[in-house]
Chain A
Amino acid sequence: MVMTGSDEAPEIYLDHAASTPLRRAARAAWLDASERYHANPTGSHRAARAARRALDDARDEIAATLGRSPAEVVFTSGGSEADNMAIRGVLHDRGGAAVCSAGEHHAVLEPVEHAGGVTVGLEADGTVSPEGLAEVLRATESVSVVSIMAVNNETGVINDIPALVDATRAYAPDAVFHTDAVQAMSWLDLRVHVADADLVSITGHKLGGPVGTGALLMSDGVVLDPLILGGGQERGRRAGTPDVAGAVAFAAAATGADTERSEVVDRLGALRDRLLVGLRSQLGDLVLPTVLDGGAPVVAGIAHIMLRDLEAEALLFLLDAAGLRASAASSCSSGAQDPSHVLAAMGIDRTVAQGSLRLSLGHTSTDADVDAALAIIPPAVERLVTHGGG
């Protein structure tokens, strides 16, 4: 638990999938690097070379946690830039059509729709099926890029990326396969899970690294038109003075997440399950069946539930007032809750989807957080249900 201002309730933070607190090791690495490396790493003097070395060490370290070669790691400002670079970069270079799932993050969905691309619906269990993808690929001319996320950011559902890559190779052999693995890196070993993807987006702030750090992994031989032109940094793939301290801290977070993964997955998976069981036992059938009940594989940190007869927007208000930070679907730029396009793509009715709540755990989550959540959520839900849903 994190204590906030003295006159407020202690904060129960269950929104790690939106952003997770900075790891101590990442913070220490950032502070050290930001003092030590004051020079621009593209220069030629000793100070520049020292910064360049730190940047490339960070690149090596991140590559090692992903089972990739350092040359494949292109630093970006985060996941959205990496997603845009992948989709738009391939389309600008080769033309053709883009295909993605209807449940993608908006950083993929918007570039694909902007280019007149095609979406693949989700299965009722929240996954993208290789057969469904194959069907769309067979029906679409000259597909140049396919983008399917490794883990859905709202539901936590895991996609079978190796099978989806196989479907792409079979039905769109010339297409580049991209996966947004932003939500996956804490929970899955990406050396295995996305090994066959040509392009992979990752970000630091879902791991305990700083916001504003990220990378696009580019397999050898994949060509794209850069989004940002300029001084030729990142081997001409992404211009701009590299953020050395950010990269160093990102690497520290990546190593921390990789080292702790199996222990964290076990610990948080058990906490998540206790949370769900506790909510069910108190709220009964107000809690509708979850994606876990549907049998889909789900990452350990996300408990996505839908509550009958209430509006998430009102629930989040009450939870926030009681100290519990959570979220529902994606928030729009004004801060209002928009209807979830992910649940819509799963065929879930809008009136049911409006009761969705995402409780997401992370590296700082404790037993006490789950106890507090189980004390705060049920009375808030019951209050709303007795007030017409909010």
Chain B
Amino acid sequence: MPAPSREPVLVMMSGGVDSSVAAALLLGAGHEVVGVTMKLWGGPSDTGCCAVSDVDDARRVADRLGIEHHVFNFGEDFERDVVGPYVGDHAAGRTPNPCIECNRYLKFDRLVRRADALGFDRIATGHHARVIDTPGGPRLARGIDGAKDQSYVLHVIDESVLRRLFLPVGAMTKADVRAIATDLDLRTATKPESQDVCFITNEHGRKSFLGDRIPLRSARVQDSEGKELGSVSSVELVTIGQRKGLGLAGGSDPRYVVDVDAAPGRQPVVTVGEKADLAVDLTPLESWRWVGEALDDTDLSFQCSAHGSPAPGRVVHGGVEWAAPHRKIALGQSVVAYDAHGCVVGGGIADRLPI
């Protein structure tokens, strides 16, 4: 926990239980706390954090805690830096993670600049991750609650921001967070967690969202020898490892998507194969950034999706060389490296590994 002080802290309150408790803990530690909810998405939402009801929850929790609450409209930034690139990535056959981009551009950049302008040296969120001091500087580390750890989607936070960031619930379990919220009689104590992409509704789904913005392209489905097996109507919705919805005749062994080639300017191709074809020894990297010193050829642990299991490997020659065969990763997915203490030491974007 932060040392008692009267430092003003701007706390991002999404309307969920974690950020509610984060605000309460900072207040309890003696900080001057101001809550802020970012309004990012003006369209329909039934999954995420931008609904008016969530703003209401954040405001009422702030009222309950006796702190000020403001709403900042960063809708245009969100459209430009998150939604637009998300759509563009899908059109280019990539698999984006918009939560990571929202953290990169909105929560830990745009809002930080706003905090600077308003005179807040400190900011805080309710994420399950920790900031720990190391001789090399502050580092992001996994949250205590392994099942809730969000360090993967936060790996893009710059060191200059980590230095001023409080993550008060990262050091506790979700059960503890809910218990504190219940003790404080916060209305968010039993609120279900937000899931999925906040700007895509469960009702209409990703296909409808993308279809409204870009022409969806059909793709030829073939086997690894190039023999045509069928077609799919929208290559933008096909992902590596997918088994269903490929329009393939039954009867044979299950077949999985092992490659998606949706580069612009030519007919997209989806290649299917056996489960064994999904296992690779190397995941090539399109880009990579070490947090502190470069740790090439060092045994590290790598995570490739928000809730994926970490796997051992090394960064070698612009790729991740796995200690044991690893499931293939789609172009555009983020790969995050951790050291033995669960600290984020690097991160980057997976490149396509053709058959």
Contacts and interface: CB of A to CB of B under 8 A. Distances in A.
Q: Do A and B come from one complex?
A: yes
A388 interface: yes
B118 interface: yes
A320 to B, nearest CB: 8
Interface stretch (B22-30, B66-74, B191-199, B280-288): B66-74
B70 A317 contact: yes
A335 B68 CA distance: 13
Contacts of B37: 334
Given A334-B55, A335-B59, A336-B39, A313 B117 contact: no
Interface residues of B, number: 17
Contact of B71 (A336, A384, A387, A388): A336
Contacts of A313: 72-73
B72 A336 contact: yes
A314 B117 contact: yes
B113 interface: yes
A314 B114 contact: yes
* Most B-side CB within 10 Å, residue of A332, A333, A388: A332
B296 interface: no
A334 B52 CA distance: 5
A36 interface: no
A64 interface: no
A386 to B, nearest CB: 9
A317 B52 contact: no
Given A317-B70, A335-B71, A338-B73, A387 B39 contact: no
A337 B117 CA distance: 17
A390 B118 CA distance: 7
Interface string B66-84: 0000111101100000000
Contacts of A337: 73
B297 interface: no
Contacts of B119: 383
B116 interface: yes
A130 to B, nearest CB: 35
Interface string B32-57: 00000101000000000000100100
A48 interface: no
A283 interface: no
Contact of A317 (B39, B75, B76, B118): B118
A313 B114 CA distance: 10
* Most A-side CB within 10 Å, residue of B70, B75, B117: B117
Interface string A298-322: 0000000000000001100110000
B118 A314 contact: yes
A338 B52 CA distance: 14
B59 A387 contact: no
B55 A335 contact: yes
A237 B113 CA distance: 53
Contacts of A332: 39, 73
A384 B113 CA distance: 11
Interface in A369-390: 383-384, 387-390
Interface of B: 37, 39, 52, 55, 59, 70-73, 75-76, 113-114, 116-119
Those 8 A-B pairs whose CB atoms lie nearest each other, nearest first: A336-B73, A387-B117, A336-B39, A390-B117, A336-B71, A335-B71, A334-B55, A334-B52
Interface of A: 313-314, 317-318, 332-339, 383-384, 387-390
17 contacts: A313-B73, A314-B117, A317-B70, A317-B118, A332-B73, A333-B52, A334-B39, A334-B52, A334-B55, A335-B71, A336-B72, A336-B75, A337-B73, A339-B76, A388-B113, A390-B114, A390-B118
